Amino acid sequence: MTTCSHNQLVLLKENEKRLRCRHCHLTIKAEELKGGHCPECYEESGVRRYDFEEIEAQEPDKVRYRCEGCNAIIEAD
């Protein structure tokens, strides 16, 4: 559980499948992975992590947001 108040939300447009880093939870399109490793993990810690999970496209009646503060994914109807 996080103490983040989720004040910095970014709307996620989910028309295609995306990848999420299993370490920092960055969500990114596959074609944006230029080196194949997570750019966020590399920038923060200098470690090249290649461990991603596929995120399925969202349901049409759901809206998803990502909190810039804690990287949580929030779904709303």
Segment 57-64 mean pLDDT: 70
* Residues of the chain above pLDDT 90, percent: 32
Q: Which CA distances in Å does 14 have to 4, 11, 60, 65, 66?
A: 24, 9, 9, 10, 12
48 has a pLDDT exceeding 90: yes
Structure confidence at residue 46 (pLDDT): 93
Segment 53-72 mean pLDDT: 80
12 has a pLDDT exceeding 60: yes
Which run of H or E residues covers position 43? Answer: helix 39-45
Segment 44-52 mean pLDDT: 93
pTM of the predicted structure, to 2 decimals: 0.54
